[in-house]
Amino acid sequence: MITQKLEQKLLQKLSPQQIQLMKLLQVPTAVLEQRIKQEIEENPALEFDDMEEDDNMDIESDVVLNTQNEAEQEENASEEDKFDDIDIEDYFDEDDIPEYKLYVNNSSKDEENKQAVFVSGTTFHDYLVTQLGWRNLTSKQRLIGEVVIGNIDDSGYLQRDASAIADDIAFSFNVEAKTEEVQEIIDLIKQFDPPGVGASGLQECLLIQIKNINEQTSSVQLAINIIENYFEDFIHKHYDKILKKIDISEEELKNATEVILKLNPKPGNTIFESDKNNPDIIPDFFVTNNDGKLELTLDSRNAPDIRISRRFQEMLETYSDSSNKKTRNKEIVNFVRQKIDSAKWFIEAIKQRQNTLYVTMEAIMNFQKDYFLTGDERLIKPMILKDIADIVNMDISTVSRVANSKYVQTSFGTFLLKVLFSESLQTDKGEEVSSREVKKILSDCIDSENKRNPFTDEQLAGLLKEKGYNIARRTVAKYREMLNIPVARLRKEL
């Protein structure tokens, strides 16, 4: 049975302006300029501030729409003629809808629209194909070579056998290639630079590299023997077993180990990985220590000079003041007013973003004042998102958006803001300390250990307990893994 009734509900909804602000907040300074350029391209009412034009225009003032009387119509006819050649249909398309109005209900409010970034340049696989072109090969051999190179992963390994690649060639290119022909090309590619490329695994990769060493000394020969016959014992650092099986001295094993450790386990990363691992970082905040007083500044790109286009405001005034009430004029007025309102919202969102960034970072800086003054990680206080959210009177999600993708530059380094957030632990004296402080002390203990007999997790837990940190062994293991430190057996050295 269908019935009608009245009821009151309390709902929370984000306005388009709030959605736009949230999206801008999580954008780092490095891509903010691109985001502004995108908005300017989509909204012709928005433009960069030009110093040559009159800067006295108040972008916050509202344009009042008045209808002129019949006597004023003729005086403004010439002004209207200036815009007669404007076709409103040239502007109306799907791209005219501002991004913040395209919110879809079936997506999470925290979902990010991540797009792939394409970078031009020579890749690792292009480098191998170039070397393939230097060889005197038939068209069939070249095809096989390109398919083989396409199956090599970014580390430089070929983890598919020749028969599987031969089947791919027959299926994709309708070319019959024998397994022996494919294997011949694989062996050829293993001679390419960098040494070790095309190997089926780590053991073969190291063997290819070590056999390419010009000076085959006794240490090199011993290293080859170890990789060929005692590889499992070596990678698990069972040095005692190797010493007994080969009957060599510890000094000889140490020299052979040094030779192996100089080899590259991932030849594919030799030439191109350095650029991928070291991207350009543009700090969003600058914290300077001025004689014991901390000073905070934002990157100047966080406050771009943008404004509403004077031409668009004049266009709105011209069409709205016209006494001609044609439908086309109303459409133009609505369109122009929509674009101006959208531009005002965007400018206001940029200002709010700047203010939110500054207020949040100032709270973090004051909370971690001792750390920013000294750079000593042991002075980092326990701090969670809620601590800062309570100080700045904002939602936790807002603080999270500021902290997760922003960098701060100090006199002792540049780092992500989120690394300052950590949980609290209690010492034997009842004092609360940051888990980051415990990680630092744990790292120092491991750095100072005897590498011939490194500490186990149980021993590390005992050392921390002596220092007043009552932490279980499993917690030590968790922190060690977070620091990317291997277990004691794999830290062992001769």
Between residues 257 and 318, the one the model is more confident about: 257
Mean pLDDT computed over 128-148: 93
Beta-carbon contacts of 447 under 8 Å, excluding residues fewer than 6 positions away, are none
Query: Does the pLDDT of residue 25 top 90, yes or no?
Result: no
Where does the pLDDT of residue 117 fall: very low under 50, low under 70, confident under 90, or very high at 90 and above? very low
Q: CA-CA distance, 23 to 25, in Å (whole number)?
A: 5
Q: CA-CA distance, 228 to 203, in Å (whole number)?
A: 8
Q: Measuring CA to CA, which residue among 235, 259, 257 is closest to residue 248?
A: 257
Mean pLDDT computed over 373-391: 88
- Number of neighbouring beta carbons within 10 Å of residue 137: 15
Output the pLDDT for position 490: 82
Q: Measuring CA to CA, which residue among 280, 420, 424 is closest to residue 361?
A: 420
What are φ and ψ of residue 276, in 5° steps? -75, -35
Condensed to tens digits (0 to 9), the pLDDT of residues 154-178 reads 889 999 999 999 999 999 999 999 9
- Number of neighbouring beta carbons within 10 Å of residue 486: 13
The answer to which of 44-58, 240-254, 277-291, 394-408 has the lowest mean pLDDT is: 44-58
Beta-carbon contacts of 281 under 8 Å, excluding residues fewer than 6 positions away, are 30, 407, 414
Q: CA-CA distance, 360 to 394, in Å (whole number)?
A: 9
Mean pLDDT computed over 14-36: 74
Output the pLDDT for position 2: 78
Q: Measuring CA to CA, which residue among 74, 90, 86 is closest to residue 324?
A: 74
Angle between helices 250-261 and 218-229 (to 10 degrees): 80
Angle between helices 162-173 and 139-150 (to 10 degrees): 110
Name the average pLDDT for the chain.
Answer: 78
Query: Does the pLDDT of residue 107 top 80, yes or no?
Result: no
Query: Does the pLDDT of residue 404 top 50, yes or no?
Result: yes
Q: CA-CA distance, 150 to 31, in Å (whole number)?
A: 33
Query: Does the pLDDT of residue 207 top 90, yes or no?
Result: yes
Mean pLDDT computed over 46-52: 65
Q: With beta carbons less than 8 A apart as the criterion, state whether 144 and 132 touch.
A: no
Condensed to tens digits (0 to 9), the pLDDT of residues 423-434 reads 777 666 666 677
The sign one gets for the Cα dihedral 132, 133, 137, 140 is positive
Condensed to tens digits (0 to 9), the pLDDT of residues 55-76 reads 444 434 343 334 334 434 444 4
- The answer for 361, left when phi > 0, alpha when psi is -120 to 50, beta otherwise, is alpha
Quick one: CA torsion of 269, 272, 274, 276, rounded to 10 degrees?
Answer: -100
Burial tier of 34 (Cβ tally within 10 Å: 0-12, 13-18, 19+): exposed
Give the DSSP letter of residue 199: B
Query: Does the pLDDT of residue 276 top 80, yes or no?
Result: no
Predicted TM-score of the model (pTM): 0.57
Q: Measuring CA to CA, which residue among 234, 274, 272, 277 is closest to residue 156?
A: 272
Q: If you average pLDDT over each of 37-41, 238-242, 317-321, 404-408, which comes out highest?
A: 238-242
Q: Which two tokens stand for residue 253?
A: 């094993």
Query: Does the pLDDT of residue 53 top 80, yes or no?
Result: no
Does residue 282 sit in helix, strand or coil? coil
Condensed to tens digits (0 to 9), the pLDDT of residues 434-479 reads 777 788 888 888 988 888 888 998 989 888 888 888 888 888 888 8
- Number of neighbouring beta carbons within 10 Å of residue 203: 15
Output the pLDDT for position 390: 92
Where does the pLDDT of residue 82 fall: very low under 50, low under 70, confident under 90, or very high at 90 and above? very low
Query: Does the pLDDT of residue 38 top 60, yes or no?
Result: yes
Mean pLDDT computed over 371-380: 86
